[in-house]
Structure 1
Amino acid sequence: MADEEKHAVEATPQVAPVDEYASAQNEFVDRPNGWIYKGYKLFGREVYYASPRVQLLLVALVCFLCPGMYNSLSGLGGGGQVDPKAQDHSSVALYSTFAVVGFFSGTFANRLGLRLTIGIGGLGYCIYSASFLSYNHNKNIGFVIFAGAFLGVCAGLLWTAQGAVMMAYPPENKKGRYISTFWIIFNLGAVIGSLIPLAQNIQNHTGTVSDGTYAAFIVLMFLGLIVAFFLLDADKVIREDGTKVVLMKNPSWQSEFLGLWQTISGSPWVLLLFPMFFASNIFYTYQNNDMNAAAFNIRTRSLNNLLYWLAQIIGAVINGYALDYTGIGRAMRAKLSFAFLFFLTFVIWGGGYAWQKMQPTRDVVSQANYEPNKVDWTDGGHLFIGPMFLYFFYGFYDAIWQTNIYWWMGSLSNSGRRAANLAGFYKGFQSAGAAIFWRLDAINTPYNTMFGATWGVLAGSLILAAPVVFLKIKDHVSIEEDLKFSDETIEDVVVGANKHVDV
């Protein structure tokens, strides 16, 4: 544990009733002295380094430079290669390790602190890009698979810590806006990352992306690793209203593993969200490899990739602000957001079915001489314009799906510990689903089967999640509810100058 975390939890515990604690948490407290709490005016608003807003911005910049660039690279289909096999096998390794690490990474985030967890998490991305640069020259698929497995460990840590920041730092009435802001910055990384291969391959109709493309990704991802160490640990963060983020007091490994169990045993209905967690990344396999890489040449794939991530930003803006609309209660907003996502699942993927049933089979596309037959953006009409808009709306759908899940989870609890555990479950099951679908692609599952399985799992998981969204999301979550299913008592929490609580 970092030194600043040790000092933050050394205050003598004081016993206080729950209602007194809840009142204290909502009481304005003058920020301590120190440069991280010194406010500056920016666009008419006070900004200080230790605020949730600035810390979320830093986390978003890390994700802009690391997973944002990774998304741009993987969105090219096949990791920018003609043959997607290397990426298929690497992604199976990546998401397999991600699933295991993600399941327990909430525990690591609570134990090690969010800054160190995100810092370690950013390490694997530049190695992953370097493996494809190497593959361009020596076809060493073993290095690519190793890089994927190592990235799975790192990404499991990074995304769980990021999820805890995004769900636990903001006040209840701004969670949608914080999620939206993060998603915009994160996907702006993929947009800018998509411009790199587009610019470098604009005259390239066939083949793989250039070495310069991979080199640019390596440099940018390494910068993301550096940015991670400018973050503050959560015990230093004070909200604009003077309240502190709810944190563990001297967590032990035993108490943290117990927290995973309590997340399920205290709220067994959370299990109904797990299929939706499982489904939340499975569509990338079909969209990246079985549509974009299969149907379009390299420069057109680059353009589609750019539009896909632009659509993510648009979707995040619309959904983030809609989720925080104060004219409607939070419980009703949850129901409306579910109905909108359910509608999109059948409209957009129904359009995808109309396109997919007309496409060549995998056996035809995988032939060595098929590359010149792939669609170029100059083909226009139904060959490019229609599928281009379909791919754009696939990106829009992804943003609505992901921001809804994060907002729903954030609406179920305000506890940093429960948020980290929920995020760990989310990324763990998400990665298990992704690993399975990348493996299906690696064993040459027909494109039509990949499409049908993806659409079916998405629709089915929404039906299972409906009771949680409609019955469990309330207009407000009290401290009593967050403590209800914990083995901790008020005697175990720290209430005082630091206002930390063990939940």
Structure 2
Amino acid sequence: MSEKDEKSSELAPVPTETEGTMDDFPLGWRYYKLKIGNWRAPHYASPFAQLLLVAATFFLCPGMYNALNGLGGAGQLDPTVQNNATVALFATFAVVAFFSGAICNKLGVRLSLIIGSSGYTLYMASFLCFNHTGNAPFVIASGAILGFCAGLFWSAQSIIMISYPDEENKGTFIGIFWMIFNLGATIGSLVPLIQNLHSTGESVSDGTYIGFIVLSGAGILLNFALCNADQIVRNDGSKVIMMKHPTWKSEFIGLWEVMHTTPWILALVPMFVASNWFYTYQFNDYNLARFNIRTRSLNSLCYWSAQILAALGCGRALDSQRFQRHTRARAGLIVLFAVSWAVWGGGYVWQRTYDRASASRDKKIDFTDSNYGALLVLYICYGAFDAMWQLYIYWVLGALSNNSRKLAILVGFYKCAQSAGQTVMWRIDALKAPYMNIFAGTWGLVIGALIIGAPVVWLKVKRHTEEEEDVKFSDGTVNELHVKKEDAPPGV
């Protein structure tokens, strides 16, 4: 960056706790828009450019983690070690996530993402170590460390995804993020598929783990290219409001204020819990239980590919301007309810055909078998359902507030409940509970969660989020203002 750009950036006005807009669109390389013909690329510090960057880091870190876990047992024949590591991961995640919004507001999204991404590489390396040493405690410890890191990582990502864009584009932003993120799991699934294409064994090779380690390591480096929230400027000239110099005390007071003023958020807890609860059944009790390694790899590839397509469709539908926002929220809930019955009803038909005893005794299904096609379609439906569920929750949270500080805290609470539920579910599976019990509990939770959460969707999602209805923090921070800038400086 040139001396002139440096000076311009320093002199650009930065909102304090009570400011909502800027007098002038700032200068400097972060805010330059490259013009190609009649099209102008988003400036570097724009919400869209930052979304693409953070989605790329998730492509390389959680995307590879999902690809590994999607194989069932993290590629191991016996899922016990992975189950125990996952219990440690999400138990830690649940505790850290509750405070992660406040922590990210204090540290900033960039530093939170850098710290958070490092845990994924360690976790994947622990399974490579386990292949040679059988050191289960190291795998479990790496899971706990990843739980701490992931709490910061996901909270910081959520700030970018649902507080950076304006109200009309939140569904699109969430959909684009989910597409790129799951593209990581999709491409990551190609690694074990190619390496094990001619294998009928049931565990992956060292090369699979090494590939995941290298890719996730690249994700750590990419986080250094991100901007912090106080540098983000939307196209209309408005900024994301963050406290200029937050303290730990102010952030934890803010955490209390949000939870105290929005007690109705508890009605969404079952949806939060269900959002990762079904992974255990899908990955371990369906994919791992009934298929050999190369078929599990193919299943995983199709599962994450289905998420990409579902994310694109759902994001566009939730942002459709043909209907008011509250109408879209209610219609989305009804559609999700119907899809839940259809997908899990289909799963019930298959689940009746096996239990733990028969799954361990019978020959694993290969993609050359005659009955494989219908089972692949079911797994694809599970993937599409997952994307629909996750996108809808994020979109509803984004519709409840535009305040970046409040959203960071709400998302932290969401990830806390999600992780606590997943801790319980992975532990249940580690204790060898009957497959049908796990399936029935999962299906029941999904349906019950939608019913319990319906009043919040019906009553709290409005046409627009009014500023006076958003939480006003005692330190003076309020909802960011979207004031249009009619006269942006030339060349910006």
Q: TM-score range by the shorter chain?
A: over 0.9
Deviations 1:391-413 (A, max 9, x none): 00000000000000000000000
Q: SS of 2:35's equivalent? A: strand
Structure 1 segment 71-470 matched on structure 2, within 5 A:
71-359=66-354, 361-366=355-360, 370=362, 373-380=363-370, 383-470=371-458
TM-score by length of 2: 0.92
Sort the Cα spacing of 1:493 and 1:317 in 2 relative to 1 into closer, same or farther, 3 A.
Answer: closer
Check the 8 A contact 2:233/2:239 in 1, yes or no.
Answer: yes
- Contact kept in structure 2, 1:309 and 1:395, CA below 8 Å: yes
Matched, 1:40 2:34: yes
Deviation at 1:114, TM superposition (A): 0.4
Q: Which amino acid aligns with 1:298?
A: I
Tell me if structure 2 keeps the 8 A contact 1:14–1:494.
no
Separation (CA, whole Å) in 1 of partners of 2:322 and 2:479: 36
The C-alpha deviation readout for 1:358-394, integer Å capped at 9, x for no partner, is: 12x2133345xx5xx01000002xx211111000000
CA drift of 1:111 comes to: 0.4
Asked if residue 479 in structure 1 is aligned to residue 467 in structure 2, the reply is: yes
Q: Which amino acid aligns with 1:31?
A: F
For residues 243 and 206 of structure 2, what CA distance do their matches in structure 1 show?
46
What is the distance in 2 between the residues matched to 1:128 and 1:137? 15
Q: 1:109 to 1:102 in 2, by over 3 A?
A: same
Q: 1:8 to 1:308 in 2, by over 3 A?
A: farther
Structure 2 Cα separation of the partners of residues 62 and 230 of structure 1: 10
How far apart in 1 are the matches of 2:387 and 2:241? 28
Q: In structure 1, give the amino acid aligned to 2:369.
A: D
Runs in 1 of length 4+ with deviation above 4 angstroms? 7-15, 492-495
Structure 1 residue 248 displacement after superposition:
2.1
- Letter of the structure 1 residue corresponding to residue 32 of structure 2: K
Q: What is the TM-score of this pair, normalised by structure 1?
A: 0.91
| Equivalent pairs, count | 476
Would you say the 8 A contact 1:91–1:438 is kept in 2? yes
Cα offset for 1:60? 0.2
Q: Deviations over 1:106-136 (max 9, x none)?
A: 1110000000001100001111111111111
Deviation at 1:42, TM superposition (A): 5.3
Give the aligned CA root-mean-square deviation in angstroms: 2.4
Q: Write the deviation string for residues 188-243 of structure 1: whole angstroms up to 9, x where unpaired.
A: 00000000000000011113111100000000000000001110000000011111
- Aligned twin of 2:3: none
Distance 1:97 1:221 in 2: 21
Question: How far apart are the structure 1 equivalents of 2:28 and 2:243?
Answer: 24
What is the rounded CA distance, in whole Å, between the counterparts of 1:451 and 1:374 in structure 2? Answer: 20
1-structure distance, mates of 2:271, 2:11:
37
CA–CA separation in structure 2 for the residues paired with 1:255 and 1:9: 26
The one-letter code matched in structure 2 to 1:487 is S
Whole-angstrom distance in 1 between the partners of 2:293 and 2:14: 59
Identity %: 51
> d(CA) in 1 for partners of 2:108 and 2:16?
21
Contact 2:77 2:202 in 1 (8 A): yes
**Aligned equivalents of 1:216 and 1:266: distance in 2?**
46
Give a deviation string over 1:123-182, Cα, whole Å, max 9, x none: 011111111111112211111101111111111110011011111000110000000100
Q: Structure 1 residues 304 and 494, CA, compared in 2 at 3 Å: closer, same or farther?
A: closer
| C-alpha distance in structure 1 between counterparts of 2:382 and 2:34, whole Å | 40
CA distance in structure 2 between the aligned counterparts of 1:296 and 1:8, rounded to whole angstroms: 61
Instruction: Check 1:137–1:494 CA distance in 2 against 1; reply closer, same or farther (3 A cut).
Output: closer
Give the match for residue 18 of structure 1: none
Q: Residue deviations 1:69-93, cap 9 Å, x none?
A: 0000000000001111111111001
Give 1:494 shift. 11
Name the amino acid aligned to 1:384. Y
CA distance in 2, matches of 1:87, 1:418: 34
C-alpha distance in structure 1 between counterparts of 2:459 and 2:292, whole Å: 47
In structure 1, what is the equivalent of residue 52 of structure 2? 57
What CA distance in whole angstroms lies between the structure 2 residues aligned with 1:261 and 1:14? Answer: 18
CA distance in 2, matches of 1:101, 1:162: 15
User: Shift in Å at residue 9 of structure 1?
Assistant: 12
Residue type matched to 2:422 in 1? Answer: A
Task: Provide closer, same or farther for how the CA distance between residues 303 and 11 of structure 1 changes in structure 2, counting only shifts above 3 A.
Answer: closer
CA, structure 1 residues 39+198, in 2 after alignment: closer, same or farther (shift >3 Å)? same
Structure 1 CA distance for aligned equivalents of residues 180 and 241 of structure 2: 25
The one-letter code sitting in structure 2 at the alignment partner of 1:45 is: R
SS in 2 for 1:377: coil
Runs of at least 5 residues in structure 2 that lack an aligned partner in the other structure: 1-6, 486-492
The answer (yes or no) to whether the contact 2:86–2:143 under 8 Å persists in 1 is yes
Instruction: Give the unaligned 5+ runs of structure 1.
Output: 16-20
Distance 2:452 2:245 in 1: 37
| Residues in 2 aligned to 1:494 and 1:135: alpha-carbon distance in whole angstroms | 49
Query: What displacement does 1:263 show?
Result: 1.5
